[in-house]
Structure 1
């Protein structure tokens, strides 16, 4: 592919989406084609633009159909100044969520340990203590200590050669399932951003459709390009939408 302003060429996006769809249909835990850093940057930017267009389109349609209040966004806006909101929502939370849902798509004992700890913190915060990821309340250190314990235990177990080999074979054999589960978990766990009632659960697939699409892209770029690429896209997306909330209109 010629690197000469590809982002303005419709054929480039067709090729980009073809690569993404092929990966989604048959995900593998290694790059199918080796690309230069320049190609990776262009592809990442291109997928970011596609994701933004998709997210805005879905959000706009939901305004006319069903649009529950995003309790997480409201809570953060009330607790943080604009600058702190950008730091927490645009940097800290994307790092946390990428570690939780994408880091371990490439198997490594350290990666799996960090993912296990982060996921423990996520579930304790959302499902057990009914708190917020960024809220430092009286349960915060309980959540942190539990996550650290899980990190240490997981790393000790995964460092054993026999267990490491079993997990490596599992990743190679069942990567398709691991990829799909990471996408669905990332998307559907965002239901905690809304009030947990029957109506929102029924609307779950549509309410979390932008997150599901984002997860498919993030999983693809994480495996094909490296962890830093979906992380930067996640940060850029959050920062963009946070900045939009500062504008003087809905």
Structure 2
């Protein structure tokens, strides 16, 4: 039987396809693949991402390793089961909607993404809170996000506006893809202390997130939304479970 995940050449072909996409992003799949092929490719890219993330994390330990305040805060607030649920399911779903859903333009996709992104900015930059924290600012954050979502959808669902944005999306997809990758990675700076050294080292300490975003954006376009979503969930669940292992 054919088991591509056991063949080194298969991973080289995946890396080649990924690099070709990064060099010249396209808004529609160039190849039609079966569900089985998509699953194999997604698993293969997941293994590649994990190997890269572990390698970079190990290297950063020798250079500079800032404390992930978000992870520490969540570990203190949640028990093991809830932590896996929030970190491994809810947050990946939220982040994929925010940064990847609207890579393919539809009025509904862009409206939902706009609302969740506004919620993110309000939470992190304005109210200095946590995405998963239900505090006294939560009602304001969620209400403004939903309101922005409704207003955005009302505007862009109009035929003239829809056609204009659709054309802009197709003509500027390379920029949109790169922006989604960089914004996803660099906004993770809020996971750490907002210090001068962390700001200067931002491209380095968020390198794993940038690599993850390039793969997630590629699989979103080439395979569909559920593939980067499941990969994101699997990654977060894996590292969350590993965090339970005592190192002392």
CA distance in 1, matches of 2:73, 2:130: 9
- RMSD after superposition: 0.8
Tell me the TM-score normalized by structure 1: 0.98
Q: Which residue of 2 aligns with 1:126?
A: 124
> Residues 71-101 of structure 1: CA distance to partner in whole angstroms, max 9, x if unpaired?
0000000000000000000000000000000
> Residues 12-70 of structure 1: CA distance to partner in whole angstroms, max 9, x if unpaired?
00100000000000000000111110000000000000000000000011111101110
CA distance in 2, matches of 1:82, 1:245: 10
CA distance in 2, matches of 1:68, 1:214: 19
CA distance in 1, matches of 2:71, 2:208: 16
Q: Give the drift of 1:249.
A: 1.2
Q: Which residue of 1 aligns with 2:94?
A: 96
Question: Any unmatched runs of 5+ in structure 2?
Answer: none
Q: Give the drift of 1:229.
A: 0.1
Instruction: Give the total of aligned pairs.
Output: 248
Q: Which residue of 2 aligns with 1:78?
A: 76
Alignment of 1:1-250 (within 5 A): 4-249=2-247
Q: Give the drift of 1:4.
A: 1.3
CA distance in 1, matches of 2:146, 2:130: 18
CA distance in 1, matches of 2:65, 2:175: 31
CA distance in 1, matches of 2:185, 2:223: 22
Q: Give the drift of 1:240.
A: 0.3
